[in-house]
Chains A and B, each alone.
Chain A
């Protein structure tokens, strides 16, 4: 926001020209220098502990593990294995499919909630927002663990259904499969999808809605032709915020996924742990990043097309 209203200021200063040019230029240069100096500790921290390590991982993915040593001759062998071994392929496809499904569920469920918050809550909006964001901050591990209690053999659902006589035996298909992973992830990431959609709904100029009504649109047509298209940026952001991290989720598949629900990050962990094949683990991690980024870019591209067609 500040960027938006300071940039013109700088332009004015730059074009003011004339006599004051030298002085002004020096002033802006020093402003710039101060800004750079102020952000540099944080930026350097991110370079040292995020950018550099990720680059190291990329380099590692081209090396080979020889028992305890690392052979540093560059090779694509890890990528060949990572992309052709059926085991890794299955895990990768499952991760993408699970994340896509979780993203769809969370965004579809979050939209009405965000809509309610933006258009129907007039008092205590901040309290509602706070109530929604609290689960977002509490322990992810514990939120996932709760589902183990709910879906388990003697868990909440089985016990309740047996109590009211709907089933005679506990159902054993609730836990330890892909479904339980999807349910748990959809719950754990639900709050993440609401906020971006809410923000985009808040930005909609309410007079546009009045105009649509005045011009004869009913509530449904108005929603489909005005509200929904204008809130699509928020929907896109929400989808990415859920999709990208869930592809690499480790805890949920490990705790509630059983054998059939494991995902790619569980294999990455095995390569860095028990299997002790760092380069292969690195290749799997890099592949995941590349595939997730590609999928996200394609998604954004498609959504842009959809949005432009609306207009």
Chain B
């Protein structure tokens, strides 16, 4: 192990990534309505009060609905695109995938504002449906990124063997292709769900009178007295994201192993 300083730097860097966020759970157990040091003792009352809050429960339910719909639709769209991009050659492939992947780099406010204008001009009222439409748009590129690495390492001779042995294209897809890519698909479902669960800007512009969890958190940030509840809610959201992503990562690795690809992949 030469060049130890770089290792030290890496550890400090990871701490820089994680420590700021860890203050949320720390203060969420603090027995004081004022979010400041010194800590006043441990309590779980903010979590208890939070749980009995009807508006929060409504927002949670909204987020779960939007997240579920986003995960399913964006993963289906992601499967179509990832399969087309890895399996077929066709004209316009590059520009098509560029447009589909564009939400990755486009400032979110542009996506949010343009969807807002179009939906209202077309006479739709803002609702959870409009939020879901926006979230699907933003989640599809991530789904494709996860699935492409899965599909790319895919050995096509397995499918050819199945076709040679007399299975039709549909049976081949369900009996050969799908089992191999299933972990990747599950990983995509979890990641797109998490993206939707945490997404704020598009939900903020398009949610109308039905807030999702981040929009609810935003509305509570104005009230100092509500901050401990926000911290409790935020900590639970962080925990949920962490669990979902860990499972997604395990699935993605399993997918990579089945497809015979290396450990890179995902967004890498």
Contacts and interface: CB of A to CB of B under 8 A. Distances in A.
Interface of A: 1-3, 6-7, 10, 31-36, 38-43, 45-47, 49-54, 56-57, 60, 109, 112-113, 115-117, 120, 125-126, 128-135, 137-143, 145-147, 149-150, 152, 154-156, 159-160, 163, 187, 190-191, 195, 198-199, 202, 240-241, 244-245, 247-251, 255, 265, 268-269, 272, 278, 281-282, 285, 288-289, 292
Interface of B: 1, 3, 6-7, 9-10, 13-14, 16-18, 20-21, 23-24, 27, 34-38, 76-78, 80-81, 83-91, 93-94, 96-97, 99-100, 102-111, 113-118, 121, 133-134, 136-137, 140, 144, 152, 191, 194-195, 197-198, 200-201, 205, 214, 217-218, 221, 230, 234, 237-238, 241-242, 245, 249, 253, 263-264, 266-268
B118 A53 contact: yes
Contacts, number: 263
A281 B57 CA distance: 34
B266 A133 contact: yes
A145 B36 contact: no
B242 A134 contact: yes
Contacts of B110: 54, 57, 248, 285, 288-289
Contacts of A10: 89
Contact of A145 (B137, B194, B221): B221
22 contacts: A6-B89, A33-B90, A35-B84, A35-B88, A36-B88, A38-B88, A39-B80, A41-B77, A125-B263, A133-B267, A135-B17, A135-B18, A142-B217, A142-B234, A146-B20, A149-B24, A159-B36, A159-B37, A159-B38, A248-B107, A250-B108, A282-B113
B137 A250 contact: no
A215 to B, nearest CB: 21
Contact of A46 (B114, B134, B137, B214): B137
Contacts of B13: 109, 112-113, 190
Contacts of A155: 36-37
Report which residue of A3, A40, A126, A202 has the largest number of chain B beta carbons within 10 angstroms of its beta carbon: A126
B241 A138 contact: yes
B234 A139 contact: yes
Contacts of B18: 135
B116 A43 contact: no
Contact of B88 (A31, A163, A282): A31
Contact of A42 (B3, B38, B87, B100): B100
Contact of B198 (A109, A140, A150, A241): A140
B6 A112 contact: yes
Given A45-B140, A57-B113, A156 B23 contact: yes
A43 B99 contact: yes
A6 B109 CA distance: 38
Given A42-B100, A57-B113, 10 more contacts: A35-B90, A54-B110, A140-B200, A142-B24, A143-B20, A155-B36, A156-B37, A241-B104, A250-B201, A282-B113
A193 to B, nearest CB: 11
A107 to B, nearest CB: 13
Nearest to B91: A32
Contacts of B81: 38-39, 42-43
Contacts of A245: 105-108
- Main secondary structure, interface of B, reads helix
Contacts of B83: 38
A43 B96 contact: yes
Contact of B16 (A35, A39, A120, A187): A187
A52 B118 contact: yes
Contact of B115 (A2, A49, A109, A159): A49
Contacts of A143: 20-21
Contact of B268 (A38, A47, A195, A249): A195
Contacts of A39: 80-81, 84-85, 90, 93, 96-97
Contact of B89 (A35, A112, A278): A35
Nearest to A170: B36
A113 B9 contact: yes
The 4 tightest CB contacts between A and B, nearest first, are A248-B107, A35-B88, A159-B37, A154-B36
B117 A150 contact: no
A29 B245 CA distance: 40
Contacts of B38: 159, 163
Contacts of B6: 112, 115-116, 120
Contacts of B7: 116, 120
A149 B89 contact: no
Contacts of A131: 14
A198 B10 contact: no
B78 to A, nearest CB: 7
A240 B105 CA distance: 8
B113 A139 contact: no
A149 B20 CA distance: 9
